[in-house]
Amino acid sequence: MSRTAVRRSVATATTALLSLGGLLLASHPALADVSNGGFESGSLTGWTSAGTTSVVGSGAHTGTYAGRVGGTSPTNGDSSIAQTFTAPTGATQLSFWYSVTCPDTVTYDWATATLTDATTGTTTTALAKTCTNGQGWKQVTSSVTAGHSYTLKLVSHDDNYAGDASYTLYDDVSFTTATPPPGLTQVSTDPFTNSSSQHATELEPDTFAYGNTIVASSQVGRFTDGGSSDIGWNTSTDGGTTWQHGMLPGITTYQGGTWARVSDPAVAYDAKHGTWMVAGLVIDSNVNGAGVSVSRSTNGTSWQNPVIAVGNDGQGYDKEWIVCDNSTSSPYYGTCYVEVDVTSSGNAVVMSRSTDGGATWSAPVAPSGGPSGLGGQPLVQPNGTVVVPYSANGSSIRAFNSTNGGSSWSSSTLVANVSSHGVAGNLRDGEGLPSAEIDGSGKVYVAWQDCRFRSGCPANDIVYATSTNGTSWSSVTRVPIDATTSGVDHFIPGIGIDPATSGTTAKIGLYYYFYPNANCTTPTCQLEVGYISSANGGSTWSAPATVAGPMSLSQIAGSTQGSMVGDYISTSVVSGKAVSVFAVGKAPTNGQAFDEALYTAGPLTVTGGSARSTTHGAATVPSPHLTRPLPVQH
C-alpha cells in the first residue's frame, strides 16, 4: 500500500462577527457549565484523557491554547478527551470547533465526536468520521435540552502507519443560547381562529420583485391534511425594509369566497399591464386540488377577488406556478404563464397563458411527449423563450420550453438526475422540488437539494445547474456552504438573482433551511435558516450566515407528511441586496398551539466571497436515488 504523508499548517479563524448589508450576525453568547472549554488554563484540567493528548500554544481557534488529540508522531487507535456537564438554563446548542490534520484517508484515520445524553440514555454523533488536511477550523453544533446531563467525547484515530500521523485540534467548547441574530423582523402573522386548521401558522412563502417593490405570499392557517385558511400578501415598496400585509379576498370561505382551502402561493408581476398577481391552488371540501386561482392588484396592497385560470372541471391539480414576460424586446411582452400538474392524470404537466393582465386564461396545453412531474417554475428569457424546469416526480430535474408565446411547448430534456438524502425528523422538505431564477441575459439557474457530493449520501448540499437556452445544461455544481464531511444537512433552497446583473457579474442570493446535525431525531432536530451569496455568477461564494433559528420541529405546523415550513421558499435580489421571507417557529405564549410566522432578515447585501464552487467529486447518478418518496400533496 502506497501512501503520501503530507503535513500542512493549521489555519486559524478568529472572526466572531460578520457584517452583512447592515445586519450584524454575532456568535450566540456562550453559557457556563463547560469547564476549561477553551483550554485557556494551558492544561487539560476538567477533561478526562485517553491515549495521546496535550494542549498546544499555537494555532488555536481563539485565545492562546487549543486541545490536541492525537500526536505529531503516529499513534495506535483512538485518543480522546471527554467531559460530563449539565446543560444550563437557556441552552439549546453545544458548540465546538475542530481542525483536522489527516494526510491519510477516512478508511484509516479520522476525527469524530459523540454527545451522550445521560438523562435520556441516547448518544448522537456530533461529528461524523472525517479525514481532511489543511482545511482549517470548522464548527460543529448539536442540539441540547437545558437541565440534561451530557458527556462530550472528542476523538482522533490514527492507524499507527509510519509517516502519516493524524491528529485533531479542538477548541471553544461551549453551550450557546438560541437568541436570534439582530435584524430579524416579523413580516406578518396568522389572524384566523377557525378550529379546523392550526394557529398561528404561516408557511411556504414565495416572493417576486419588480423595481423596488417586493410582494410575498404564503399559506396562512395550515390544515394538517392540505391547504390553508387563506393566502396572505406581504408587500414592501422600499426594497424589503418595511412591509404591509393582509389576506387575499374572495378565495376561501374565511375571506368571503367559496373554496374550503387554498395552497401553493406564487407571485408574478405583469409590467405591460401594471398588474401584480398571486396564484394559488384552490381546494374543495373533499381536500382535492380543484384548480388555479389568480388574484390581481395594481399596487400590491389592494387585491381583487380571484379568477380561475385552470381547472374547476372535476380534475385534481397540484403545485402551480406563475410568471410574466416583462421584456419590452420580446415579441410576447405582457404574456403571463401558469404551470400546474394534473394529479388525476398521473401528474401530467400543463401550461396556460394570459395576454390581458391575468383577467382571462387559455385552455391548458400539455408539452410535447406529455411529461409527468410537479413543481415547475417557468422563467422568461429576454427574447421571449419560456423555460420551465420541473421535478420529474422526485427522480430528476427536467425542463421544457416554448418559443412561440405558449402556443406550443417542446418535449422535456434532462437537467440532472436527483440523488437526495431523506431529511431527518419527519420534516416535510419538498424533496426534489427545484428553485429556479434567471439573470439579466437570460441564463437560467436551477437549484435543489442533493447528496451526490457526499460519500454515502449522509446529508444534502444545495446544488444547481445552468442553461442559456433551456435545452443544454451545465454539470451539477455544489454551493460551498460547508465541507462535505460537515454533517450539516441543507434543504429547501430559495435562489434569487439581481435582474440587472448577468454572466460573470451576476449577483446571486441563496436562502435555505438546514440542520446543524443531519443525524437528528424528531425530538432533537434543530431547524435553522442560512444565507450565502455570490457576486460573480456562482464561481465563488461568501461565508454562510445563520439568519434564523434554531427552532424545534414541535414549533412548526404539522401535516400528514411531517412538520412543515413549506415545500419551497424564494429569494428576490433588488439593487444588489437579497430579500427573502421565511417561516420561523417559536414557543407559543398566547394560548395557541403554534407561533409560526413569516420573518425576514432584511435586505442582505450580495457580497460574494472566496469559497469556490465545484463540479468535482460528485458521484455519478445514472438513475434516481431517493431515500423516501417526494411529497405530492397540497
Res 621 pLDDT > 70: yes
With beta carbons less than 8 A apart as the criterion, state whether 316 and 344 touch. yes
pLDDT of residue 182: 52
What is the separation, in whole angstroms, between the first and last Cα of the chain? 55
Mean pLDDT for the chain? 90
Dihedrals phi, psi of 33, to nearest 5 degrees: 85, 5
Between CA 276 and CA 358 the distance in angstroms is 9
628: three-class secondary structure by DSSP? coil
Distance CA 409, CA 370 (A): 10
pLDDT score for 32 = 52
pLDDT at 558: 96
Distance of CA 27 to the CA centre of its chain: 21
Q: Identify the DSSP state of 71.
A: -
359-385 in b/e form (b: 16+ CB < 10 A) is eebbebebbeeebbbbbbbbbbbbebb
Say what the pLDDT of residue 625 is.
52
pTM of the model: 0.74
pLDDT at 4 over 70: no
Instruction: List all residues 6 or more positions away from 407 whose beta carbon is below 8 Å from its beta carbon.
Output: 365
Q: Report residue 357 CA to chain centroid gap.
A: 32
The model's pLDDT over 257-298, given as tens digits with 9 standing for 90+, comes to 999 999 999 999 999 999 999 999 999 999 999 999 999 999
- What's the pLDDT score for residue 431? 77
CB-neighbour burial class of residue 327 (10 A; exposed 0-12, middle 13-18, buried 19+): middle
Residues 6+ apart with CB under 8 A from 591: none
Give yes or no for a contact between 496 and 466, defined as CB atoms under 8 angstroms apart. Answer: no
Count CB atoms within 10 A of the CB of residue 29: 11
Q: What is the pLDDT of residues 78-98, one digit of tens each?
A: 999 999 999 888 777 788 999
Would strands 138-143 and 386-391 be described as parallel, antiparallel, or unpaired?
A: unpaired
How far is Cα 361 from Cα 355, in angstroms, rounded to an integer? 8
* Residue of 530, 610, 527 lying closest to 578 (CA atoms): 530
What nine digits make up the cell of 238?
422600499
Q: What φ, ψ does residue 426 adopt, rounded to 5°?
A: 55, 40
pLDDT in tens, 479-498: 999 999 999 999 999 999 99
In percent, the amount of the chain with pLDDT more than 90 equals 80
- Cα–Cα distance measured from residue 217 to residue 239, given in angstroms and rounded to the nearest whole number: 16
Mean pLDDT value of segment 308-323 = 98
Among 31-35, 61-65, 538-542, the range of highest mean pLDDT:
538-542
pLDDT bin (cut points 50, 70, 90) of residue 11 is very low
Distance CA 46, CA 34 (A): 8
List the Cα angle 185/217/333 in 5-degree steps.
125
Give residue for cell 394534473. Answer: 342
* CA distance linking residue 408 with residue 403, whole number of Å: 8
Query: Chain-centre distance of CA 464, in angstroms?
Result: 13
Burial of 267 (0-12, 13-18, 19+ CB in 10 A): buried
Model pLDDT for residues 320-355, shown as the tens digit of each residue: 999 999 999 999 999 999 999 999 999 999 999 999
The pLDDT tens digits for 201-252 are 999 999 999 999 999 999 999 999 999 999 999 999 999 999 999 999 999 9
Compute how many other C-beta atoms are within 10 angstroms of the C-beta atom of residue 9: 10
d(CA 114, CA 489): 18
Instruction: Determine the pLDDT at residue 163.
Output: 82
DSSP 458: -
Can you give the pLDDT at residue 177?
58
SS3 of residue 582 by DSSP: strand
What pLDDT, on a 0 to 100 scale, did the predictor assign at position 633? 58
Is pLDDT above 90 for 461?
yes
Stretch 185-190: mean pLDDT:
94
pLDDT of residue 140: 83
Buried b or exposed e, range 612-624, using 16+ CB within 10 angstroms: ebeeeebeebeee
**What is the DSSP track for 36-84?**
TTT-TTSS-TT-EEESSEEEESSS-SSSS-EEEEE-SS--EEEEEEEEE
C-alpha dist (Å) from residue 36 to 13, 65, 177, 239, 381: 20, 11, 19, 46, 58
Q: Model confidence over 504-529: pLDDT tens digits? A: 999 999 999 999 999 999 999 999 99
Residue 13 DSSP SS3: coil
CA distance 261 to 202: 14
φ/ψ bin of 319: left (φ > 0), alpha (ψ from -120 to 50), beta (otherwise): left
Q: In the 8-state DSSP scheme, what is residue 148?
A: -
User: In terms of Cα–Cα distance, which of 481, 399, 487, 397 is closest to 447?
Assistant: 397
Residue 3 has pLDDT above 50, yes or no: no
- Per residue in 104-151, pLDDT (tens digit) is 888 899 999 999 999 989 888 888 888 887 778 888 878 788 889 999
Residues of the chain above pLDDT 70, percent: 92
Name the pairing type of β-strands 149-159 and 167-177.
unpaired
Separation CA 572–CA 441 (nearest Å): 17
Smallest CA-to-CA distance from 242 within 284, 187, 288 is with 187
